[in-house]
Chain A
Amino acid sequence: AQKITQTQPGMFVQEKEAVTLDCTYDTSDQSYGLFWYKQPSSGEMIFLIYQGSYDEQNATEGRYSLNFQKARKSANLVISASQLGDSAMYFCAMRDPGYSTLTFGKGTMLLVSP
């Protein structure tokens, strides 16, 4: 069974600094996908970034990048130049072997201060 682990219950960063949110995963499959979502206090889940297991380069989307280390089974989210609006819960998720559904981690709460 797949498992996603986010070991940081909460992170605190000052505005304009970079922050890394950790995600490790456990799977025996060679082909898989990893996703990061943001959940602000309103509750809606917002897709941020995707990394495929066979992608040769780390994914980037604007201020978001994914530090993908396949051998270590980690897919950490890096947010550069944090903004106050980045304060939210962040969830890492993995696509299951049947390519149908996602397994989510428990999330990390990020607080950005002025």
Chain B
Amino acid sequence: DGGITQSPKYLFRKEGQNVTLSCEQNLNHDAMYWYRQDPGQGLRLIYYSQIVNDFQKGDIAEGYSVSREKKESFPLTVTSAQKNPTAFYLCASSIGAGETQYFGPGTRLLVL
């Protein structure tokens, strides 16, 4: 089955530690995205990538980093510089930039 997988579903980390969230897709989509969702809020764009080896900052990129070495993978690293990292993180992909985005199941990150 084609789709987007995110792992793990829940992630706990101590304050000050970097943590990497995984996002993999087998839909052969060129574009991939990372969003953050806080309780009672909409989605805010962290980073996006339209093609392998290229990515752009979204609205709230500070404290995050990404890589896009393979078409199917777009990992997100939450660094210690992110002041309030506890949130729900959603990865999405689309055939191309601006096309309909399809989402993974999300990762809930709790920093203690």
Contacts of A104 in B (CB 8 A): 42-44
Query: Which of A4, A50, A98, A106 lies in contact with B100, CB distance below 8 A?
Result: A50
B2 within 8 A of A: no
Interface string of B83-112 (1 = CB under 8 A from A): 000001010100001101111111010000
A43 and B101 contacting across the interface, CB-CB below 8 Å: no
Question: A43-B106, A100-B48, A100-B50 known; A91 and B42 CB under 8 Å?
Answer: yes
Alpha-carbon distance between A51 and B42 when the two chains are bound, in angstroms: 20
- CB neighbours of A50 from chain B (8 A): 100
> Is there an interface contact between B48 and A101, defined as CB atoms closer than 8 Å?
yes
Contacting residues, chain B, for A43 (C-beta < 8 A): 88, 90, 105-106, 108
**Chain B interface, DSSP helix/strand/loop, else mixed:** strand
A42-B105, A43-B88 as given contacts; A91 in contact with B43, CB under 8 Å = yes
| Known contacts A43-B88, A45-B92, A106-B40; A101 and B102 CB within 8 A of each other | no
Q: Looking at the complex, which one of A98, A99, A101, A106 makes contact with B42 (CB distance below 8 Å)?
A: A106
B side interface size, CB within 8 A = 25
Q: State how many angstroms separate the Cβ of B74 from the closest Cβ of chain A.
A: 14
How far, in angstroms, from A35 to B105 measured CA to CA in the complex?
Answer: 19
Q: How far is the CB of B89 from chain A (nearest CB, A)?
A: 10
Q: Is the CB of A105 within 8 A of B42?
A: yes
Taking CB atoms and an 8 Å cut-off, the chain A residues in 29-50 that contact chain B are: 33, 35, 37, 42-47, 50
Q: Give per-residue flags for B43-74: 1 if the beta carbon is below 8 A from chain A beta carbons, else 0.
A: 11100101000001010000000000000000
Tally A-B pairs: CB < 8 A.
Answer: 56
B101 engages A102 (CB within 8 Å): yes
**How far, in whole Å, are A33 and B100 apart by their CA atoms in the complex?**
10
Complex interface: chain A residues within 8 A of B97 (CB): 98-101
**Residues in B whose Cβ lies below 8 Å from that of A105:** 42
- Cα distance A100–B57 in the bound complex, in angstroms: 12
Query: In the complex, what residue of chain B is closest to A4 when comparing beta carbons?
Result: B42
- In the assembled complex, how far is the CB of residue A68 from the closest CB belonging to chain B, in whole angstroms? 17
Q: Which residue of B lies closest to A49 (CB)?
A: B100
